[in-house]
Chains A and B, each alone.
Chain A
């Protein structure tokens, strides 16, 4: 069965970096893109961007350029999110979500059909 398993919670000081992993199993990793979604405490979902697991090409949403980097290690079916120069406002749960492109009424759409369990990143001095 499809599973996305993320790395555990992190506590970091402002200015540090963090790398969150998302290990996929149960499907061919390079056949589906991977998205990242942020959820600040008590807030809604915010799409951060996605990475093409075939080419490694990332696309970042507005507000997630510069300090945020998506990467892959296809040999271990794992996607990574690295955040540098951490700020208190980066405190959030970060989710990876598989992108299942599906044809609906002649249009290819994006579905986030499987999600990781989330990784809490806390930034505090």
Chain B
């Protein structure tokens, strides 16, 4: 069973700053299966990235994904106020524990 470990648990940043979120798999996985979801308080998750690096429909290009093997990264190039949320990586059929991006 694959375990996904996200770090850091919380990222405190200011609007306009760059956010780098990490997702580490317990064993090598195909990047095709790695996805990222965003969840805002009181809302359902939203698909951001699939196949490790492909943006879902309607996702702004400030969001990018990369990685392979066991190490994957979600980068938000310049944080907008609406980007402060919890981010989960996903590989069938498990989620990471989440990284909260909060306003500093």
Q: Hey, which bits of chain A sit against chain B, CB under 8 A?
A: 37, 44-47, 61, 95, 97, 102, 104-107, 109-113, 115-118
Contact = CB atoms under 8 A, between A and B. Distances in A.
18 contacts: A37-B45, A44-B96, A44-B97, A45-B37, A45-B90, A47-B95, A95-B44, A95-B45, A104-B51, A105-B31, A107-B30, A109-B50, A109-B92, A110-B33, A112-B90, A113-B47, A113-B56, A116-B44
Nearest to A49: B93
Contacts of A97: 44-45
B47 A112 contact: yes
Interface in B1-55: 30-33, 35, 37, 39, 44-47, 50-51, 54
B70 interface: no
Contact of A109 (B33, B95, B97, B98): B33
B94 interface: yes
B88 A44 contact: yes
Contacts of A37: 45
A52 to B, nearest CB: 15
A111 B93 contact: no
A105 B51 contact: yes
Given A102-B50, A109-B32, A109-B35, 19 more contacts: A44-B97, A45-B37, A45-B98, A47-B93, A61-B93, A97-B44, A104-B32, A105-B31, A105-B32, A105-B51, A106-B32, A107-B30, A109-B33, A110-B33, A111-B35, A111-B50, A112-B37, A112-B47, A117-B44
